[in-house]
Amino acid sequence: MELESFTRAKVFGQPFLPTDFKLMVFFIQTSFWIYVEQIKGWVNYQYLESYSCPWGYLALARDVVIVYLVLGYLSRLFTSIRGYGVYKSLCMFFKKVNRQVFLTLLSLPPMNKKVEKELESVLAKIEEEIMQNNDDLLQFPQLPAKGITTERVLTELDNLQNLKHSDWINGKVSGAVYHGGKSLLDLQSEAYHKYSVANQLHPDVFPGVRKMEAEVVSMVLKIFNAPETGCGSTTSGGTESLLLTGLAARQYGKTYRGITQPEVIAPVTVHAGIEKACFYFGMKLHKVDLDPKTYQVDIKKVERLINKNTVLLVGSAPNYPHGIIDDIEALSKLALKNKILLHVDACLGSFIVSFLEKSGVHDKGAIPLFDFRLPGVTSISCDTHKYGFAPKGSSIIMYRNSKIRECQYYVLSDWTGGMYGSPTLAGSRPGALMVGCWATLVNIGEEGYTKSCRDIVRTSMKLKYAIQGNEILSKYLEVIGNPIGSVVSFKVRDNVNDFSIYALGDLLGKKGWHFASLQNPAALHFALTRLTIPIIDELIGDIIESTEHLVEENEKHGDNKKKDVGDTAALYGVAGSVTTSGVADKVIVAFLDTLYKI
Ligand SMILES: *Cc1c(COP(=O)(O)O)cnc(C)c1O
């Protein structure tokens, strides 16, 4: 049975032939008249004779190409149906067509004008929010002719820090700053100060930095129960770790399995960094739905999508949106059975998920395996700059063995500039940041991380149980899945339809809380940090108060979902609708442009 399904996966792999729609249309168009003649011939049972005209050989060659292309399309269709089923394949196809149609419509003059106008007003709001500036600040659209004094630079840095911003210091922001303690910050600044010239590109100049980097990787590998062969490297952050695991999987598939059209299978909840890896490195990404009960990736659907071009499976421990750990054990079995690499994204889980067992917050049975103890797991990413409390710009990518790690290396032996090699995406790397990470890890130690895990998770469980147990909250809200770590997200109950979760988020925003907004389904998420621990009761109280307020408003004025749509709801309304999803893309581009406006 197992063997059979594996063979089937091999045979009905991805398109075994390349497809080229334009080429096919070109052939059909340019030789339309020949077809007319041929069809006349076929009707009279003169099939072969129809090729015996002076153009016969050309016509035959053309038909061979067309049959080849049509077969390519059929195999693609077949693969899609095998992976997604008929219904979902049709839905995906129509969604694609729909989007294209609406994008075209939106670019036509009358609609175009309207979209531009809408965009302008959104843009004005974005600019107002993020382009903080004032007349008291020095302005540098270009380099000052003469440098300003050190004292002036330092006071200006203070002035810039005092611009209006979300206040993380009081713990009201989801994620962002994970530790925030003064003595740790002092240690990290001192470490940076001592090593600000260090560059990991030059281990001969900075041997101490090399030793520290090797130790950081080794320490984190032990935390994730890597085997003796385990290895890894430090990176600039979770996204770089995910890019590298994607690159390594692509190269591994190419080198050891001859795969030239690589595909990745990941849950819809996977971090954007995996999509970015597929975008950068030319891989096709299959995004798999969740099990509606557990909110973990649907394992059966993952299995159906595996084919001979699959180079990587991905699961999260836990994922960013919902804080839910996928069934990594089942993914590990699938990976072993099909001989595919499996990456576990523990960027967010970091030193929370890996310390859960030691922390004793949950019963042992309630904590699933997710690390290298599962034999199918071939790589894990862990952000030391999240719950490892290291300075920003620090993450670890780990592999089961060096054969896989080698696939992320860049090697250039015949460069005019000398023999060159670099382990990660960057060339020069800021050694000082890595030193800050090392200093943090050895300063906090196993005991410290166990305690912070215990304190943070106890607090997030308090939030989870409050939403599930409080009378008014449990009537309107629902925790998504069963989070056991530091992230809790919640949505409006399915049987409630006059309550907007985004309106709740906006209301909490007015009280200073900074929740992250999610979509599909609309929900709010909070990643608890050490700074949230002392104010958890205030957080729960404010959620209750805001929910009561919205319910009262509804009773007075009717449905708040339709009436007076808040900014967040409006934005996600735009993003969620097929007819306007193209506009949402433009909003994001405008936002990114704004980052560089002076
Ligand atoms: C934060 C995060 C990442 C990586 O994000 P960076 O901002 O690049 O550090 C990856 N995966 C998950 C689940 C995350 O939460």
Distances (CA, A) of 29 to 33, 34, 36, 217: 9, 10, 12, 60
Residue 440 phi/psi, 5-degree rounding, is -65, -50
Residue 23 pLDDT more than 80? no
Write down which residue in 53, 86, 119 finishes a domain: 86
pLDDT digits (tens, 9 = 90+) for 58-85: 777 877 888 888 888 888 888 889 889 8
Helix, strand, coil percentages in the chain from 3-state DSSP, rounded to 5: 55, 10, 35
Whether 424 maps to a domain, the answer reads yes
Q: Are 212 and 194 in contact (CB under 8 A)?
A: no
Q: Whose CA is nearest to atom 14 of ligand 1?
A: 348
Whether cis (ω within 30° of 0) applies to the bond prior to 203 is no
Whether 148 maps to a domain, the answer reads no
Is pLDDT larger for residue 389 or for residue 163?
389
Range of weakest confidence among 131-140, 509-518, 543-552, 556-565: 556-565
Tell me which residue of 564, 232, 549, 193 sits closest to 394, measured CA to CA.
232
Averaged pLDDT, 399-403: 97
CA dist 542 and 511 (Å) reads 8
pLDDT digits (tens, 9 = 90+) for 455-480: 999 999 999 999 999 999 999 999 99
What is the reported pLDDT for 476? 93
Residue 549 pLDDT more than 50? yes
CB-CB neighbours of 172 under 10 Å: 22
Averaged pLDDT, 20-26: 70
Question: Do 321 and 397 have their domain in common?
Answer: yes
- CA 242 to ligand 1: nearest atom: 10
Structure confidence at residue 53 as a pLDDT band (50, 70, 90): low
What is the reported pLDDT for 14? 43
Residue 355 pLDDT more than 80? yes
Residue 17 pLDDT more than 60? no
Cα-to-centroid distance, 171 and ligand 1 (Å):
20
Residue 115 pLDDT more than 70? yes
Query: With a 6 A CB cut-off, is 485 part of the ligand 1 pocket?
Result: no
Specify burial of residue 399 (Cβ count, 10 A radius: 0-12, 13-18, 19+): buried
What is the reported pLDDT for 10? 39
Whether 100 maps to a domain, the answer reads no
Query: H or E stretch including 286?
Result: strand 284-288
pLDDT digits (tens, 9 = 90+) for 288-316: 999 999 999 999 999 999 999 999 999 99
Kindly provide the b/e burial profile for residues 297-316, where b requires at least 16 CB atoms within 10 angstroms of the residue's own CB: bbbebbbbbbbbbbbbbbbb
Whether 281 maps to a domain, the answer reads yes
- pTM of the full predicted structure? 0.88
Residue 220 pLDDT more than 90? yes
Pocket test for ligand 1, best of 326, 348, 487, 528 (most atoms within 8 A of CB): 348
Question: Do 474 and 587 have their domain in common?
Answer: yes
Structure confidence at residue 8 as a pLDDT band (50, 70, 90): very low
Pocket test for ligand 1, best of 241, 383, 396, 425 (most atoms within 8 A of CB): 383
Is pLDDT larger for residue 179 or for residue 50?
179
Question: Do 473 and 403 have their domain in common?
Answer: no
pLDDT digits (tens, 9 = 90+) for 501-547: 999 999 999 998 999 999 999 999 999 999 999 999 999 999 999 99
Whether 162 maps to a domain, the answer reads no
Query: With a 6 A CB cut-off, is 322 part of the ligand 1 pocket?
Result: no
What is the reported pLDDT for 279? 97
* Helices 238-257 and 272-280, axial angle in degrees (round to 10): 50
Averaged pLDDT, 48-61: 69
Range of weakest confidence among 141-150, 276-285, 512-521, 570-579: 570-579
Question: Do 205 and 60 have their domain in common?
Answer: no
What is the reported pLDDT for 104? 84
Residue 6 pLDDT more than 50? no
Query: With a 6 A CB cut-off, is 238 part of the ligand 1 pocket?
Result: yes
CA dist 180 and 130 (Å) reads 23
Residue 375, classed as helix, strand or coil, is coil
- Tell me, what CATH number does 265's domain have? 3.40.640.10
Question: Do 505 and 383 have their domain in common?
Answer: no
Whether 164 maps to a domain, the answer reads no
Query: With a 6 A CB cut-off, is 345 part of the ligand 1 pocket?
Result: yes
- Strands 420-422 and 410-412, by their bridges, are antiparallel
What is the reported pLDDT for 168? 76
Q: Are 263 and 284 in contact (CB under 8 A)?
A: yes
Question: Do 459 and 432 have their domain in common?
Answer: no
Residue length, the chain?
Answer: 598
Query: With a 6 A CB cut-off, is 15 part of the ligand 1 pocket?
Result: no
Averaged pLDDT, 438-466: 96
Kindly provide the b/e burial profile for residues 180-204, where b requires at least 16 CB atoms within 10 angstroms of the residue's own CB: beeebeebbeebbeebeebbbeeee
Whether 160 maps to a domain, the answer reads no
Q: Is the backbone of residue 566 left (phi > 0), alpha (psi -120 to 50) or beta?
A: beta
CA dist 183 and 190 (Å) reads 11
Query: With a 6 A CB cut-off, is 318 part of the ligand 1 pocket?
Result: no
Structure confidence at residue 446 as a pLDDT band (50, 70, 90): very high
- When divided into structural domains, the chain yields a total of 3
Averaged pLDDT, 154-159: 94
Question: Do 434 and 464 have their domain in common?
Answer: no
Q: Whose CA is nearest to atom 5 of ligand 1?
A: 238
Write down which residue in 423, 443, 463 finishes a domain: 443
Range of weakest confidence among 94-98, 357-361, 383-387, 521-525: 94-98
Structural tokens at position 306: 């595996």
Show the DSSP H helices in 369-489 as ranges.
402-406, 431-469, 471-476
Question: Do 509 and 586 have their domain in common?
Answer: yes
Parent domain of 62: 3-86
What is the reported pLDDT for 578? 55
Cα-to-centroid distance, 233 and ligand 1 (Å):
16
Query: With a 6 A CB cut-off, is 526 part of the ligand 1 pocket?
Result: no
Residue identified by tokens 């598939």 is: 253
Residue 411 pLDDT more than 80? yes
Percent of the chain with pLDDT over 70: 88
Mean pLDDT of the chain: 88
Question: Do 414 and 469 have their domain in common?
Answer: no
Q: Are 454 and 358 in contact (CB under 8 A)?
A: no
Structure confidence at residue 132 as a pLDDT band (50, 70, 90): confident
Structure confidence at residue 50 as a pLDDT band (50, 70, 90): low
CA dist 344 and 397 (Å) reads 10
What is the reported pLDDT for 377? 98
Cα-to-centroid distance, 103 and ligand 1 (Å):
31
Question: Do 308 and 341 have their domain in common?
Answer: yes
Question: Do 302 and 389 have their domain in common?
Answer: yes
Write down which residue in 69, 86, 103 finishes a domain: 86
Averaged pLDDT, 210-220: 97
* Order of strands across the sheet that contains 516-518: 477-479, 487-492, 523-527, 516-518
Tell me which residue of 380, 385, 383, 388 sits closest to 452, measured CA to CA.
388
CB-CB neighbours of 167 under 10 Å: 11
Query: With a 6 A CB cut-off, is 237 part of the ligand 1 pocket?
Result: yes
pLDDT digits (tens, 9 = 90+) for 328-342: 999 999 999 999 999
Whether 161 maps to a domain, the answer reads no
Query: With a 6 A CB cut-off, is 239 part of the ligand 1 pocket?
Result: yes
- Tell me, what CATH number does 487's domain have? 3.90.1150.10
String of DSSP letters for 484-523 = -SSEEEEEE-TT--S--HHHHHHHHHHTT-BPEEETTTTE
Question: Do 381 and 472 have their domain in common?
Answer: no
